[in-house]
């Protein structure tokens, strides 16, 4: 299938989801032509990799060995680094945020907020911190970069640089749920 066609990625994603459907979210995650296979043990991983490769072969879908990585403890996937039940933002993406120039237009600010929003799970009180910036994206407001906007922008950049590593929860440990709401946002954090 030529990937230059407008709907080719969506059609291919649908095909792969259909072929690997019963594996999805059990030990496989798929994004377009990236197939991520995850397992709790090395032995289980061998079984999972075999099952996926067999299913692809049965459906005449082929992988290029040189584009595959097998049995790696760390993987970069969709802008994240996944390692041993931990999730962190890809350092290259963090660097992109910390080096982001001050937006001079509404469009540039929207670009920054769109990028930053993807990683909001790492930033405590993201909505509240970003509120002055979000307000500037409204077409009903004049775009004027104020000291408040600059402070919010720099705070977000700092928090990205100091973003925590998220861990898989341990069901044996106690959970803490923090909820909060204000005029600018609603949020909740489940932590241990």
Q: Write phi, then psi, for 147 (nearest 5 degrees).
A: -60, -35
Q: Is the pLDDT of residue 4 over 60?
A: no
Domain range 90-165, CATH architecture: 2-Layer Sandwich (3.30)
CB 105 within 8 A of CB 149: no
- pLDDT confidence bin for 6, thresholds 50/70/90: low
* Nearest partner of 150 among 158, 161, 140, 139, judged by Cα: 158
Query: pLDDT for 21-68, tens place per residue?
Result: 999 999 999 988 889 999 989 999 999 999 999 999 999 999 999 999
Give the C-alpha distances (Å, rounded to integers) separating 192 from 45, 103, 123.
Answer: 28, 37, 16
Query: pLDDT for 144-154, tens place per residue?
Result: 999 999 999 99
Structure tokens at 127: 């909505």
Instruction: Spell out the CATH class of 8-72.
Output: alpha beta
């Amino acid at each position: 299938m030529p990937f230059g066609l407008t709907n080719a990625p969506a059609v291919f994603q649908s095909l792969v989801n259909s072929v690997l459907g019963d594996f999805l979210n059990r030990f496989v995650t798929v994004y377009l032509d990236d197939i991520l296979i995850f397992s709790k043990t090395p032995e289980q991983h061998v079984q999972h990799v075999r099952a996926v490769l067999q299913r692809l072969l049965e459906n005449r879908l082929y992988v290029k060995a040189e584009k595959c990585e097998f049995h790696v403890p760390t993987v970069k996937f969709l802008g994240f680094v996944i390692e041993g039940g931990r999730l962190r933002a890809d350092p290259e993406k963090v660097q992109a945020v910390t080096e982001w120039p001050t937006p001079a237009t509404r469009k540039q600010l929207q670009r920054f907020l769109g990028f930053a929003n993807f990683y909001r799970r790492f930033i405590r009180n993201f909505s509240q911190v970003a509120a002055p910036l979000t307000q500037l994206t409204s077409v009903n407001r004049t775009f004027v970069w104020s000291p408040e906007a600059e402070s919010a922008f720099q705070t977000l950049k700092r928090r990205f640089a100091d973003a925590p590593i998220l861990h898989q929860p341990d069901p044996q440990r106690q959970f803490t749920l923090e909820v909060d709401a204000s005029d600018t946002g609603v949020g909740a954090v489940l932590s241990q």
